[in-house]
């Protein structure tokens, strides 16, 4: 037993515009000492660290280069609450987000960030990205823990596996890996969920680059970069300047934005090959950056 109680208040920031690292440490210690002196013992405010530079997204969600003492030469990349450290996404999201933020911190050049993100998105669209980086892993809570009609990937895949062999049910708490593939327009997302092994065994299945880019990769980037006035969806004008389907040049696909490209491409492909997956002509589509 102890007669003292330690109460920790975290995530309290003080913005020092234009201050250097040395000035920030000096002011930080002065603030801590002043607050401690105005409170009765044993209340004490502890100064912990300096972030330089940093991005404060929302409460309990921030990222920055951390210095814990003045003598520290190399900072530590520290992220709290954002997709870099969360486990509910795929590894590609955290890797691209982390590298983009580091480029911003180290170069202060948004064009380099843009070039990097463009390259990574093209890898996803071209099927050159690692499947491991695009694999989700959601926890299975047991068949009786979900409400009726729940559209949960881990549950959906478990049902499919158990229809084949009831012994394949995962343990409660086990993470079930899955990826998202292309399908016909209008198909619910839950029906596009597949086990990675299924994609490897079926050459007709392709990872849904559109979904990964527009729903997974770009939104976290947008939440960070909108704080400095950058619209990620507008700067990513990496769509090829011309395309051909079946060997015929199609000016319809010239100079379109990211979202318009996907819509126009789907419409055009469907008109060429009715009844097939919109992405069945991907191999016949020549894209020149």
- Backbone dihedral region for residue 11 (phi beyond 0: left; psi -120 to 50: alpha; all else: beta): left
Answer yes or no: pTM beyond 0.85: no
User: Looking at 183, 201, 219, which one is the last position of a domain?
Assistant: 201
Indicate which CATH number applies to the domain containing 175. Answer: 1.10.132.60
Are 124 and 231 within one domain? yes
More confident residue, 131 or 258: 131
Alpha helices in the chain (DSSP H): 21-37, 91-107, 110-126, 153-164, 196-201, 209-211, 218-225, 232-235, 258-272
Are 229 and 106 within one domain? yes
CB atoms within 10 A of CB 245: 20
Are 119 and 148 within one domain? no
Query: How confident is residue 37, by pLDDT bands cut at 50, 70 and 90?
Result: very high
Are 46 and 70 within one domain? yes
* Paired strand residues for 80: 62
User: At 167, is the secondary structure helix, strand, or coil?
Assistant: helix
Task: Check: CB of residue 279 under 8 Å from CB of residue 269.
Answer: yes
- Residue 48 domain boundaries: 1-81
Are 121 and 165 within one domain? no
Tell me the mean pLDDT in the region 216-236. Answer: 88
Give the chain's domain count. Answer: 4
Q: Is the peptide bond before 42 cis (omega within 30 degrees of 0)?
A: yes
Report d(CA 142, CA 155) in Å as an integer: 8
On the question of pLDDT at 98 being above 70, the answer is: yes
On the question of pLDDT at 275 being above 50, the answer is: no
* Structure tokens given for 103: 């480029």
Query: How confident is residue 274, by pLDDT bands cut at 50, 70 and 90?
Result: very low
More confident residue, 9 or 90: 90
Report d(CA 150, CA 188) in Å as an integer: 13
Report d(CA 141, CA 26) in Å as an integer: 50
Phi, psi of 280 (to 5 degrees): -70, -20
Tell me the mean pLDDT in the region 197-219. Answer: 94
pLDDT tens column, 51-80 = 999 999 988 899 999 999 999 999 999 999
Are 99 and 227 within one domain? yes
Are 90 and 228 within one domain? yes
Are 136 and 255 within one domain? no
pLDDT score for 279: 37
More confident residue, 139 or 275: 139
Are 197 and 143 within one domain? yes
pLDDT score for 42: 84
Are 151 and 172 within one domain? yes
Which residue pairs, CB below 8 angstroms and at least 24 apart, start in 73-80? 77/102, 78/51, 80/11
User: Looking at 55, 81, 107, which one is the last position of a domain?
Assistant: 81
């Amino acid at each position: 037993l102890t007669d003292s109680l330690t109460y920790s208040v975290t995530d309290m920031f003080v913005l020092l515009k234009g201050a250097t690292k040395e000035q920030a440490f000096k002011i930080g210690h002065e603030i801590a000492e002043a607050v401690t002196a105005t409170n009765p013992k044993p209340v004490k405010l502890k100064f912990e660290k300096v972030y330089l530079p940093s991005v404060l997204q929302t409460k309990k969600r921030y990222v920055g280069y951390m210095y814990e003492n003045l003598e520290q030469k190399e900072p530590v990349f520290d992220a709290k609450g954002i997709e870099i450290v969360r486990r509910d996404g795929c590894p590609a999201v955290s890797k691209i987000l982390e590298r983009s933020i580091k480029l911003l911190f180290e170069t202060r050049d948004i064009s380099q960030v843009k070039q990097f993100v463009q390259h990574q998105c093209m890898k996803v669209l071209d099927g050159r990205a690692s499947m491991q980086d695009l694999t989700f892993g959601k926890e299975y809570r047991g068949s009786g823990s979900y409400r009726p009609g729940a559209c949960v990937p881990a549950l959906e895949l478990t049902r499919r596996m158990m229809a084949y062999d009831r012994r394949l049910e995962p343990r409660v708490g086990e993470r079930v890996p899955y990826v998202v593939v292309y399908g016909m327009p209008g198909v619910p997302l839950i029906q596009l969920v597949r086990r990675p092994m299924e994609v490897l065994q079926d050459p007709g299945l392709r990872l849904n680059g559109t979904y990964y880019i527009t729903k997974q990769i770009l939104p976290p980037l947008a939440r960070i970069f909108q704080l400095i006035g950058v619209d990620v969806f507008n700067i990513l004008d990496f769509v090829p300047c011309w395309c051909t389907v079946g060997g015929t040049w199609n000016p319809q696909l010239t100079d379109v934005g990211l979202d318009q490209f996907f819509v126009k491409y789907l419409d055009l492909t469907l008109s060429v090959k009715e009844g097939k997956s919109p992405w069945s002509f991907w191999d016949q589509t020549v894209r020149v950056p």
